[in-house]
A and B are shown apart, each in its own frame.
Chain A
Amino acid sequence: MSPLRAEGAAFGEALRAEWTKLRTVPSTGWLLCTMIALTAGASTLATAVVKCPASCGEDTTKLSLTGILLGQAAVAVLAVLVMSGEYSSGMIRTTLAAVPRRATALAAKAVNLTGVVLAAGATATATSLVAARYILPGNGFTGARGSEALLLSAGPTLRAAGGSVLYLALIGLLSLGLATVLRDSGASIAAALGLLYIVPVLTGLGTLDPRWEHRLQEWGPMTAGLSIQATRDLKALPIGPWPGLGVLAGWAAAALLIGGLVLRLRDA
C-alpha cells in the first residue's frame, strides 16, 4: 500500500505548498513592494498638493488614502499571476496532480494571497496615514475654517483604514477568480483593470443619465468598494461604506465561485 492518502493532500498541506510557491517566486516580493510604494507615494503626493484655504471641505481621511487607487493595480497583477503563472508554465498540472480536489487548491491559493495582501496592505495604509498626519496640519487642515484634522484614532478613520486593507484583499480575490476563469494573464489583467477603472471614468464626467450614473457607482466594484474610505457627507454617497465593501465582496465571491466551478469542469 502506498503511504499516500487516496483523498489527496489535506488543506493544511495544500496551504503550505501554495505558500512555498508564492514565497519563492521573485515577482511576489517585487509586486508587494511596488504596491506599498505606489500606495504610500501617491497618497503622500496627493496630501501634499491639497491646501486648506482652497479646499477646506476635503475629506482628509479619504485624501490620505488616495494611493490605493494605484496600489490596487499591483495587487491585481499579483493575484492574476498566482493563477495564470501556473498555466503559462504548465505548473498547474503538477499542482492539480498533488491536490486533486480543485476547490482545495483554489482555496489554498486564495488564503495565501489574502494573507500577504492584508499584511502589505496594512503596511501601505499605515504609512500613508502617518505621512498624512505630518503633512496635513502644515497645509492648513487644523480643524479651523471647516477643515477636518486627521485623527488616527477616530472611529471613521480606523474604519476607512481597515476597510482599505480589506478592499485590497477583495481586489486580489476578484482578480484571482477572473484569472481562474480566463487562465491567460494578459486577458485576465486587462479584464480586472477594465472592471475596476472604467466605471469611475464614466461616472466622473457627469453627462450620463443620473439614474445610470447612480447605478454604476452603486454596482461598480471600485466605486462601491472605495466608499469605505469616506468619512464626511456619508448621506451623499451613492452607497454606504460597509454596503459598498459588501458589493465588492459579492463581485469577489462571484468570480471565485465561477472560477472554482470552471476549474472543476475543465481540463487543466
Chain B
Amino acid sequence: MSTGTITPYRSGQRPGRDDFPHLLRAEWTKFRTVRGWVIAMVAAALLTALAVVALAGFSSGSQNAGAHPRVAIGPGGEAVTDDFYFVRQSLDGNGSITARVASLDTVLPMPAGAPPHIAVPWAKAGIIITASTKPGSAYAAVLATPGHGVRMQYDYTHDLAGLPGPVSAASPRWLRLTRSGDIITGYDSADGKHWTEIGTARLAGLPSTVRAGLFVASPRLLVPNNSLTCRGASCSVGTPSQSFARNSADTPVNTEATAAFDHVSLRGQRKANGAGEVGTAWRGGQIGFPTGIPFICAPGRSCPGPPAGGFKTSGGTFTVAGSGDIAPYVTGVDPLGAILKGSLAGLLAVIALGALFMTAEYRRGLIRTTFAASPRRGRVLAAKAIVIGLVTFAAGLAGAAVALPVAEDKLRSGGWASSVYPAWSLTSAPGLQIVVGTAGLLAVAAILALSAGAVLRRSAGAIAAVVVLLIVPLILGFILPQGPADWLLRLTPAAAFGLQQGTPHYSQVTSVCEPINGCFPLPPWEGFAVLCGWAAVALGIAVFLLRRRDA
C-alpha cells in the first residue's frame, strides 16, 4: 500500500464569468426562452392598444354635455375663455398705456338688494393691448388680482408674477404696457415713480392698429352643492369635499368684480376706424360670450344671466364692473385620460410577469442554480429588474404609441370637440408624456412586482399585493371625499397614473381637480417618482431578504 499524494479534482472547464453583462445575458435568456412569457408580454402590448382603442369607441361625446362646450379658439389653437368688460380706444402703431388700480372688489350678483361680497382670488382688473375685440385674439395684459398679486399674462396660457399682495386704497398698483412692433413689455410699480419690468411678450403678427384700454373680469366659481354660506354682507364657498361626486356636481356661480382706475394715460397715435371708435373717446362694453357648458335651467325657474358690467367716469376716475375671464379653458372631463385606463389590462399582465420572473425560479428550484452561478444576490436581482423593466418598457411603448393616434381619432369622430380635447401628436410634449409615461408606468410596476415576488416568494400573493396597491386607490379615489382621496393618490403608487392625464391644468385657472374627473393631485412626473420610490424601497427590502434567507 502506498499513500501517494492525491491530486484534487479540477474541472476542465474554465471558471465562469459572473460580471454584470453576463448576468444580464443570463437573465435575458431565461426570459426569452419561456415561450409563455414572451407570448404574455406581446399580449400585454396588444391588450393595452386594443383596450384603449375599444374604450375610445365606447366613449361617445354626443351624450356628454362636457364634450362640446362653447369656447373661443386662442392664437395657438387652444380652447380659451375670452369674456370681459373692456373700456378701450384704438391705438395705431407703437405706444403705451398706464393706469393705477385703486381698488378691486368682488361680489355675488343678486336679483335684488345689495350684492354680498365673495372672495374671487383670480378676479382681474388691469390694462390690456389686444389685436381685436374678437374672442380669442392675441393680447398682452398687466393686471391686479385679489389673491395672486400683480400678473403679466399674454396669449391665454402665459402667466408671469409681478408685485405680490392685494390692491387697496393704501397700496394701489400702477400698471404699464408699452408696444414696440410685435414686442409688448409690462411694468408695475407701487408708487408710479419706480417701475419694474415684469416681462415681455412677442405677439407675432400683431396688426398695426390694436385696441388698448382697461378691463375687468371675474371668473365663475365652482360651488359644491349646498356649500355656499352667507353671513351678513359676505358669502363664502365651502371646499369641494363632497364624496360620491357624481351625485353632487359642482354648480358654476357668476361673480362680478368692480375696480376703480385713475391716472389713466394712453400715449401714441389714435386712429378713427370704421367701427366708429374715433379719437380720444373711451368706449366700453362686454366682450365675448359666457364660456363653457351652458346652464341647464330647471323648468319654471328664472335662470340668472351673467352680470352686464358697465363703466362710469368722474374726475379722471374710471369705475369699471365686469365678469368673465381671459384664460385658457380647462375642461371638467378628461376623455383621453379615461380611455388610457384601458392600459390596466396590459398592466395586470406585466405585474403577473414581473412577479413570475422571480417566483417561478423558487417554484422550480432554479433559484439555487442561479445563486450558485452568481453568489452575489443583489446583482442577480438588479439584472432581473433591468431585464424585465426594459422588456416591459419596450412592450408598453409599442402598445401606447399605436393606441394614442387611433384612439384620438376615434374620440374626435365620437363627438368630442378637438379644440377642448387636443389631439396630441406623438412627438408633442403631452403626447410624449402620455406614451413614454404609460410605458414607464408599466415597466416600474413590473419591477415592483418582481421585488414583491422576491419578498413573498409566492406568485399569487405578490401579484395581488401589487394590484391592490396600484389599482384599488383609483377606485377609492372615486368613493372617498376629496381630501382623503387626494392623499391616497399622492402616497400610493397609483399617483403615477397622473402621467396619463390628457388635458393640461393651469395654475392661473381655478379648476376643481377631482379624481373622478381624471385629475391627479400631484404633477405627472412627481407622481411617477412616487411609484419609483415604492419600487426602490421594495427592491431594497428584497435584496436584504435575499441575502439573509436561504434560497
Contact = CB atoms under 8 A, between A and B. Distances in A.
Given A197-B475, A198-B344, A209-B60, A73 B356 contact: no
Q: Is the interface of B mostly helix, strand, loop or mixed?
A: helix
A55 B241 contact: yes
A76 B472 contact: no
Contacts of A81: 458, 460
Nearest to A216: B58
B399 to A, nearest CB: 16
Question: Which of A31, A202, A210 counts the most chain B CB atoms within 10 A?
Answer: A202
Nearest to B477: A204
B344 A80 contact: no
B472 A69 contact: yes
A208 B55 contact: yes
B60 A50 contact: no
Given A77-B464, A207-B338, A193 B348 contact: yes
B511 to A, nearest CB: 16
A69 B464 contact: no
B472 A205 contact: no
Interface in B488-519: 516-518
B363 interface: yes
A194 B466 CA distance: 12
B516 A205 contact: yes
A76 B64 contact: no
B464 A50 contact: no
A205 B243 contact: no
A122 interface: no
Nearest to B476: A69
Contact of A190 (B248, B341, B349): B349
B533 interface: no
Contact of B344 (A76, A201, A209): A201
A186 B460 contact: yes
Given A55-B242, A205-B338, A49 B480 contact: yes
A74 B64 CA distance: 38
Contact of B478 (A58, A197, A198, A204): A204
A58 B349 CA distance: 36
A203 B61 CA distance: 15
Contacts of B542: none
Given A58-B243, A70-B468, A190 B351 contact: yes
A78 to B, nearest CB: 9
A139 B461 CA distance: 35
B246 A206 contact: yes
B355 A186 contact: yes
B471 interface: yes
Given A46-B476, A208-B338, A233-B247, 12 more contacts: A49-B483, A50-B481, A54-B242, A55-B481, A73-B472, A189-B459, A193-B464, A197-B471, A197-B472, A198-B344, A209-B58, A212-B58
Interface of B: 55, 58-60, 63-64, 227, 238-239, 241-244, 246-248, 333-335, 337-339, 341, 344-345, 348-349, 351-352, 355-356, 359, 363, 458-461, 463-464, 467-468, 471-472, 474-476, 478-481, 483-484, 516-518
9 A-B pairs with the lowest CB-CB distances in the bound complex, closest first: A205-B338, A204-B478, A209-B60, A190-B352, A186-B459, A49-B484, A207-B338, A54-B241, A207-B335
27 contacts: A46-B476, A46-B480, A49-B481, A55-B244, A58-B243, A70-B468, A77-B461, A80-B460, A186-B355, A186-B359, A186-B463, A190-B349, A190-B351, A190-B467, A193-B463, A193-B471, A197-B344, A197-B471, A201-B475, A202-B338, A202-B341, A204-B474, A206-B516, A207-B518, A208-B58, A209-B58, A209-B60
